[in-house]
Amino acid sequence: MHQFGVAQFSLDQFGVDQLGILAVVALALAFTFTNGFHDSANAIATSVSTRALTPRIALTMAAIANFVGAFFGAHLAQSVGAGIIDAPTGGRGLAICAAALIGATTWNLLTWWRGLPSSSSHALIGGLGGAALAAGSTVHWQGVWDRVVLPMLALPIIGFAGGYAVMLALLWTFRNAHPASVTRGFRLAQTVSASAMAFGHGMQDAAKPAGVIALALTVAGHHDVADATPPWWVLAVCALVLSAGTYAGGWRIMRTLGRRLIDLDPPRGFAAEVTAAVLLYAATALRAPVSTTHSIASAITGVGATTRARAIRWVLVRDIVGAWVLTFPAAGIIAAAVSLVLT
């Protein structure tokens, strides 16, 4: 018998579990990469569409801000790693983690292909729930309701109202200013607001896959069950991969958010980014794993509503809302099917 971490395994069992952990880590990093290029548009679409930043500069800035922000959201991993499901120990628990990540990644790729800004966070949580249910494990429904469903319902409303209010405040404040001067000033300001949005994206979205890796390490006996915070190296690797995915860029979704939803100018882009960044910082402080996609899309829609209702492409809003509604069950069903095979 050999001791590794806090549990003992035979040599054969150690090999199986070690392989399972490596598989979960690889799947988590694949999900993180898709999360990066899927959600890169959330941080920089408005800045690119208003020509405040060139695409490559914007992606570089977002990747750096993602990486730094990741280290400020470690406590969110506890909400994902310990607050959603109870996974059994050993290979069965590792299979649940793997199935959840496969379900979430598959949904990410499908919505990316369609150019729809769905939530990677909700895909991951839906995948965890579906995989656990299929394997007969416990799902903490109260935690899902409090930490996921309620924020999912409230965030778009708050984002819409916040974007509307911030844009009205800017219109009133600069009502007598020369339009050309205002445009130049807000192009510069968007460098800050886009960085703030990317920082919030890093805080939220690097911690979630890190939480799943921490869960996998726990069920395999390599991480203290009483400590749901991921090891520093897990968070660092997830931060690096998220940054790489962000730098790769998600041009399909970027066009949807930056150009097709409403016609943005620098002041409106700034208002949307500030609103979304504040929402992400507040959610992180409350340890709520929320959607960066919901934050920025609802803020953009609220900003657009300050002009006229026809300025918003409501058909596209309908498609985005449809993708949001489908994310939980779709990722959960895919994960459940994979879980049945693996467990």
Q: Tens of pLDDT along 212-249?
A: 998 888 887 766 644 557 788 888 899 899 888 877 76
Confidence at 12, pLDDT banded by 50, 70, 90: very low
Average pLDDT, the chain: 81
Band of residue 11 on the pLDDT scale cut at 50, 70, 90: very low
Residue 109 has pLDDT above 50, yes or no: yes
- The residue with greater pLDDT, 8 or 304, is 304
283: left (phi over 0), alpha (psi -120 to 50) or beta: alpha
Whether residue 157 contacts residue 134, with contact meaning beta carbons closer than 8 Å, is answered with no
Provide the pLDDT for residue 280: 92
Across 11-20, average pLDDT: 59
C-alpha 342/C-alpha 99 separation (Å) is: 8
- 26 pLDDT more than 90: yes
The predicted pLDDT at position 339 comes to: 95
Of the candidates 247, 259, 253, the residue with the CA atom closest to the CA atom of residue 292 = 253
Give yes or no for residue 141 having a pLDDT over 80: yes
Q: How confident is the model at residue 13 (pLDDT cuts 50, 70, 90)?
A: very low
258 band by pLDDT with thresholds 50, 70 and 90: very low
Residues 6+ apart with CB under 8 A from 342: 95, 98, 99
Residue 111 near residue 38, CB atoms below 8 Å: yes
Greatest mean pLDDT among 140-154, 161-175, 195-209 lies in: 161-175
- Average pLDDT (301-323) is 74
For the chain, give the percent of residues with pLDDT over 70.
84
Q: How far apart (Å, rounded) are the C-alpha atoms in residues 158 and 271? A: 14
Going by pLDDT thresholds of 50, 70 and 90, the confidence category of residue 282 is very high
Arithmetic mean of pLDDT, 276-286: 91
The model carries a pTM of 0.81
Provide mean pLDDT across the span 268-294.
88
Chain center to CA of 85? 19
Residue 4: pLDDT band (50, 70, 90) is: very low
- CA distances to 27, 106, 120, 152 from 21, rounded to whole Å, are 10, 20, 22, 31
Q: Among all chains, which residue has been given the structure tokens 């980014």?
A: 273
